[in-house]
Amino acid sequence: MNKTMMTSMSVFTLRKMLPLLAVCCWAASAFAADPDYSGSFLTRSTLTGDWGGARNDLARKGVTFDLNLTQVEQGVSDGGKSNKEEYGGRGELTFKVDTGKLGLWPGGFLTVELEGNFGHGVNLRDGGVIPVNNNQIFPTPPRDQLNLPAFNFAQFLSEYAGVVVGKLDTTSGDMNEFAHGKGNSQFMNLAFNLNPTLLMTVPYSTLGAGVIVLPTKDPHAAIISLMALSADGKASTTGFDTLDTNKMTYNIEGRVRTDFFGMTGHQLLGGLYSNKDRNSADPRLSLDPDTRFAGDGKSDSWAVYYNFDQYLYEPVKGSGKGLGIFGRFAATDGNPNFMQYFYSLGLGGKGVAASRPNDSFGFGGYYLDIKNPSLSGPGGLFSKDFLRDEFGFEAYYSAAVTPWALLTPNIQVVRGAQKHQDPLQPNINEIRTATILGIRLQLIF
């Protein structure tokens, strides 16, 4: 039971994963300019180009197909639970239709995602509860999965408001200029891509419906979303079989563009509430059916979260290139959510050097304040402090070999939340701070 218990705590982050609302970032991308796939082999934005002009023509008509493949070689070089290298990866195909550009009716947007992973990651080896290889946990951990995490439709009813319904890829929420995504383009640690305290509240892929509000008509200037989401969704299922009004999460999130120092920035604020019955971190220790979190069976869980990004150097305003800072904060109920507070702060850069317009880099640190839950097992109830606060650091440099081939060396140092290999024998097998080295290759087709 004991070793499984600690291994399962890392699997906590690999089972339900990755909240946050998809709509804010999604709406901004829906109104983005048409992509340009043309150019020579070494200068165009994608490896396969414009398909003899057909791809650009389809994009002008509102139909896009985007495919990328991300491969990661990563290993725990020192400390952690075990020292071993692993290789794995993930591919993602995104299909989008703009009904207005297609000549059907204005304001309609269809989004479909197909996603699969392969190989192995080191997320069970560093001793932390936050994955150090965010890319590997999608669409369903640990590997060899092919799922449809998103199939949704949005309809704008005016220039100011619209509605969305369907199966949502929720990782598009909690948007940040320098620290966001699935671990395939910027940071690899989940702590810098999404706010990890919200992992218990919203699954990565789930059924949902909501309202999108654009106060100024411009989704890049300000956007507000209000959503109702199933708390039991999975990328591998449709979600209709588990849809239940007693297992819901409600979310409100707003993001506004700022102009501090005469340079672009953003402020984001959100809140979540879930009525799903759950114990502390239920059901994260599911690898061992005799070991589970024991709590009060609380049906109320809440969280508030905030993030910001701010350019400090921006050669051309609004270009998406320059140097800036970012940060996140969250507070939760503490029970049933054992991740009570979260803080992160970092520095990011994109296209800072004119000679390297597609390069990016980042450095950041995070701190996770943990409230230890009680555990029950074959031996009864115990409340040992088997977890500690977790903190870590990450640095990366993404070098564009071509605009469609990005090679990224990465280093992380993580003092994981797990104290010992066996929580019932705290005087032996202490888990030391882990150093994780990795290299990532992303190919954009």
pTM: 0.86
Provide the β-strand partners of residue 248: 230
CB 154 within 8 A of CB 108: yes
> Nearest 10 degrees: CA dihedral of 386, 331, 14, 117?
-150
Band (pLDDT 50/70/90 cuts) for residue 376 is: low
| Interatomic CA distance for residues 127 and 110, integer angstroms | 40
Q: In sequence order, which residues have a C-beta less than 8 Å from that of residue 354 and are 6 or more positions away?
A: none
Q: What pLDDT is recorded for position 443?
A: 97
Band (pLDDT 50/70/90 cuts) for residue 14 is: very low
| Interatomic CA distance for residues 362 and 189, integer angstroms | 12
Q: What pLDDT is recorded for position 202?
A: 83
The distance of Cα 202 from the centroid of its chain, to the nearest Å, equals 12
Average pLDDT rounded to a whole number, residues 353-376: 89
Q: In sequence order, which residues have a C-beta less than 8 Å from that of residue 17 and are 6 or more positions away?
A: 137, 138, 141, 199, 203, 204
Average pLDDT rounded to a whole number, residues 129-133: 94
Band (pLDDT 50/70/90 cuts) for residue 8 is: very low
Return phi, psi of residue 261, to 5°.
Answer: 60, 15
Give the chain's length.
445
Q: What pLDDT is recorded for position 5?
A: 38
Q: What pLDDT is recorded for position 297?
A: 57
Residue written as token pair 């000679």: 355
The distance of Cα 442 from the centroid of its chain, to the nearest Å, equals 17
Query: From start to end of 260-389, where are the E strands?
Result: 265-274, 292-294, 301-313, 322-332, 339-350, 360-370, 374-377, 380-382
Run of H or E residues at 69: strand 63-80
Return phi, psi of residue 145, to 5°.
Answer: -120, 145
Q: Which amino acid is at 188?
A: M
The structure tokens listed for 16 are 């339900």
Q: What pLDDT is recorded for position 6?
A: 38
The structure tokens listed for 331 are 């507070």
Residue written as token pair 């989704």: 219
Residue 157 burial (CB count, 10 A): 11
Prior bond of 142 cis (ω within 30°): yes
- The answer on pLDDT for 282 being more than 70 is no
Q: What is the DSSP string of 200-237?
A: TTS-SEEEEEEEEE-TTS-TTTEEEEEEEEETT--TTS
Band (pLDDT 50/70/90 cuts) for residue 242 is: confident
| Interatomic CA distance for residues 171 and 231, integer angstroms | 15
Prior bond of 283 cis (ω within 30°): yes
The structure tokens listed for 368 are 């996770």
Helices (H), 145-220: none
Distances (CA, A) of 388 to 39, 129, 338, 369, 420: 52, 10, 11, 8, 10
Q: What pLDDT is recorded for position 2?
A: 41
Band (pLDDT 50/70/90 cuts) for residue 401 is: very high
% of the chain beyond a pLDDT of 90: 66
Q: What pLDDT is recorded for position 241?
A: 87
Q: Which amino acid is at 274?
A: S
Vertex 440 angle, CA 436 and 442, to 5°: 160
> Nearest 10 degrees: CA dihedral of 140, 178, 443, 52?
120
Q: Which among 294, 418, 365, 291 has a CA at the least distance from the CA of 13?
A: 418
More confident residue, 163 or 291: 163
